[in-house]
Amino acid sequence: MTLRVAVTGASGRMGQAVALAVAADTNAELVSLIARPGSDLVGQPINSVCASVTSDRAVRDSLDLENIDVVIDFTLPESTLVNAEACARAGVPVVIGTTGFSESQQALLNDCLAPVARCQAANFSTGVNLTYQLLAMAARVMGDQSDIEIHEAHHKHKLDAPSGTALSMGEAVATAMGKELNDLARFDRSSTREARELGSIGFSVTRAGDIVGEHTVLFAGEGERIELTHKAESRAAFASGALRAAHYITGRPAGAYTMVDVLGLS
Ligand code: NAD
């Protein structure tokens, strides 16, 4: 069956990458591309907005979910919430790559999406999802005796910091140590003058140039250290993972699926 996909964020870096991934997939069709209301792209043919996409349907400014099997959304939290409500109302599954939700926005999203199948991930790349498992293994074996630091680097346009992926990596580590990330995370050490607390997880961030996404988790013990690094070379890695998730959740019962499910990593 050909998967009929709607992609949001027509002018966005990820929206474009996902549209290209869908266009290149012989088992999927880009049925609808949605831009921000007021965008110059609204009304233009999809194939003029996104090279290699053959569809000449017009870019829309809102989701029309008739004849859509699944929505893939990489936009902004406020827009994702609106799109999620539309998906829930229409019973259409949704893949969410947007990051930077506040706790209350995330709670709203969870409530609103209860009736549909969804897959939300801060990072859809296969390598990062495998890295979460490697991190859990490292944390179980040497977390308690290590100073743990998470550094991430992204392009200068990224709005949220630290990245959703860095936070998910912190959660993978904290969970494997039987702790809550909120209790261990240290985001700002500029205002304190104290030695490092064993068991805390320090975060640091670089925003520069066109870096697609790099994450390193350091476990520094006595006389040795492990550094686990993932580098995304292009957005295609996220886009193809999101499309794989779209194929996976379509036709499944309502529920929150993860990349562990999609990649069969459990
Ligand atoms: P971007 O700024 O290039 O694109 C965001 C897009 O959202 C823009 O095109 C904007 O016009 C659009 N938008 C805003 N409001 C909208 C609305 N109401 N309707 C439709 N579109 C709307 O950002 P990006 O680099 O494409 O990243 C988008 C999101 O995806 C960010 O939250 C980023 O952190 C996240 N991201 C996630 C992953 C992952 O694997 N989960 C990977 C990369 C980026």
Q: Pick from 11, 14, 109, 154 the residue to mutate for probing ligand 1's pocket: most ligand atoms within 8 Å of its CB.
A: 14
Residues 16 and 72 in one domain: yes
Q: Looking at residue 143, what DSSP letter applies?
A: G
Residue type, 181: L
Q: Does residue 162 sit in the same domain as residue 103? A: no
Other CB atoms within 10 A of residue 36 CB: 18
Looking from the CA of 122 toward its CB, the CA atoms found within 13 Å total 21
- Please give the residue range of the domain that contains residue 9: 3-120+235-263
Q: Are 109 and 134 members of one domain? A: no
Span 61-73, pLDDT tens digits: 999 999 999 999 9
Nearest CA to ligand 1 atom 23: 12
Asked if residue 135 and residue 34 are part of one domain, the reply reads no
* Catalytic residue, candidates 151, 156, 157, 158: 158
- Alpha-carbon separation of residue 169 from 82, 120, 141, 229 (angstroms): 28, 15, 16, 11
Supply the CATH number for residue 34's domain. 3.40.50.720
Which residues touch 170 (CB under 8 Å, ≥6 apart)?
150, 181, 184, 185, 201, 203
* Euclidean distance between the first and the last CA atom of the chain, given in angstroms as a whole number: 27
Ligand 1 lined by 36 (C-beta under 6 Å): yes
- Based on the fold, state whether residues 228 and 131 are members of the same structural domain: yes
Catalytic residue status for 231: no
pLDDT of residue 113: 98
Quote the number of domains for the chain. 2
Active site residue 158: yes
For residue 51, pLDDT beyond 90: no
What is residue 73's predicted lDDT score, i.e. its pLDDT? 98
Question: Does residue 31 sit in the same domain as residue 160?
Answer: no
Q: Mean pLDDT throughout 190-215?
A: 94
Q: Is 120 in the pocket of ligand 1 (CB under 6 A)?
A: no
Is pLDDT at 175 greater than 90 in this prediction? Answer: yes
Whether 46 and 112 share a structural domain:
yes
**What type of residue sits at position 213?**
G
Co-location of 54 and 155 in the same domain: no
